[in-house]
Amino acid sequence: MSQTIAEKILAAKAGLERVKPGQIVDAYPDLVMSHTATWRSVSVMKKIGAKRLYDPNRLAIVLDHISPAKTEKYAADQQTSRNFAREYGIEKFYDVDAGIAHLVLMEHGHVKPGDLIVGTDSHCTIYGALGALGSGIGYTEVASVWVTGKLWMKVPTTIKLTLNGRFAAGVSAKDLMLYLIGTLGADGCGYKSVEFYGSALPQMSVSERMTMANLAMEMGSKCVFIPPDEKTSEWLLPRLKDPASYQPVFADPEAVYEQSIDIDLAKLTPMIACPHQVENTKPVAEVMGTRIDQAFLGSCANGKYEDLVVAADILAGRKIDPRVRLIVTPGSKEIMLEAMRTGVLATLIESGALVTNPGCGACAGDGGTMADGEVSLSTANRNFVGRMGSNKSSIYLSSPATLAASALKGAIADPREFLR
């Protein structure tokens, strides 16, 4: 036996004994996620004249981008998605109040180790935080999977990343990923699966793992795995309808890896991605003092409860620079509620933050639009030209800690200066 996690999951979902890299299989996903683009898949279904779904229980729909609707067109599209969910009895339907699809589906126990999950979003890799194979597809393919239950998938080769040591204070999973993306390149893991290992993993929270699996997409990964352990079961088991369905899939000891890379977390410092490529990363020290007009704390990468706490710890009792707009968008309703109950939201608001409803928010161009010449610092995962408004604005990407410190200074700052 010598299979990687991706090979095992794809073999299982294709009903095969074993598969090898490069092989194309027909795989049957456990879950098909579609977000605000759902209406487009509905129209594809109409176009091909299909009436029946392969299995309504495998569909999950979350209206997370541009929510609530801001134009009549968006409203009509959301209505189409809503009506479709009702007509077909889609139980895993979450409306505009729920938050970002990825986080909502994991919080509600719809993602478990060994699952194959596809969806209309490139950051589906995030499901690997719980040991599931998540990968993005287009909306036409989503309609195809709705109807046929399957899709073609090429078995990827796998890269092994081993994390040892511990983060220094002020350094986090986001800094690790920015470092990796900068080192390996935006296509460093193109078409490939990534498996994380190492003595550092057992200490890393599920929230940190989500950040890692999410950002790994920005180095081209097809899918990502953090092998399930006690942290995974502790977080996930209370959320599963059927706890017996928790069946982790691990790689064989002799699994073949295309490449193995070791990283010492202790050597990392706060990192930042500079305009206009995610791979354009530098230590924060190199761009310190760069003025910012807006700071966005949110997204599926870093809009989780722990991320809000990190920022709040730095912002507590302090005021942000009056020239900065600090926009906080909790990733989900669950996260927002928790942050409300624990006072984290109050801390953020008192420091000068504007808190929005949960969802994708400014990361997907919903609010927080940038004007010509403006500079934004964001905890999201992308900084391409025009991503957050004007083509003449620029976006830097950082950890929540760096973001909070920078909001205080009105310019890019090193979070270690503000740790208590």
Q: Give the footprint of other proteins on this chain (CB under 8 A).
A: 14, 23-26, 37, 40, 44, 47-50, 73, 120-122, 135-141, 143-144, 147-148, 150, 152, 185-187, 190-191, 220, 222, 277, 279, 364-365, 382, 384-387, 391
Instruction: Compute the Cα dihedral for 396, 124, 211, 364 and give only its sign.
Output: positive
Nearer to other proteins, 46 or 323 (CB): 46
List Cβ neighbours of 271 (8 Å cut-off, separation of 6 or more). 174, 175, 178, 179, 182, 281, 282, 283, 284, 398, 399
Nearer to other proteins, 143 or 178 (CB): 143
What sections of 324-399 are H helices per DSSP?
333-341, 344-351
Q: Which two tokens stand for residue 149?
A: 């239950």
Q: How far is the CB of 397 from other proteins (least distance, A)?
A: 13
Q: Is residue 281 within a helix (H) or strand (E), and if so which, with residue range?
A: strand 281-283
Q: Tell me the closest approach of the beta carbon of residue 292 to other proteins, in angstroms.
A: 21
Minimum CB distance to other proteins, residue 59 (Å)? 17
Copy the structure tokens of residue 189.
Answer: 């893991």
Which residue in the block uniquely carries the two structure tokens 């078409």? 191
d(CA 48, CA 144): 9
How far apart are CB 385 and other proteins at their closest, in Å?
6
Q: Measured from the CB of residue 148, what is the shortest distance to other proteins in angstroms?
A: 5
The nearest distance, CB 133 to other proteins, in angstroms, is 13
Closer residue to other proteins (CB): 73 or 319:
73
Residue 361 C-beta: closest distance to other proteins, Å: 13
Q: Which is nearer to other proteins, 342 or 369 (CB)?
A: 369
C-beta atoms surrounding 148 within 10 Å: 13
CA 353 vs CA 252, 295, 346, 397: distances in Å: 48, 9, 9, 18
| CB closer to other proteins out of 224 and 309 | 224
Task: Provide the minimum distance between the beta carbon of 156 and other proteins in the complex, in angstroms, as a whole number.
Answer: 9
Read off φ and ψ for residue 73, nearest 5 degrees.
Answer: -60, -50
Helix/strand/coil percentages in the chain, nearest 5: 40, 20, 40
Task: Between 279 and 414, name the residue whose CB sits nearer to other proteins.
Answer: 279
String of DSSP letters for 61-94:
EE--SS-S--SHHHHHHHHHHHHHHHHTT-SEEE
Nearest to 76 by CA among 115, 121, 38: 38
Shorter beta-carbon distance to other proteins: residue 139 or 418: 139
Instruction: CB nearer to other proteins: give 140 or 162.
Output: 140
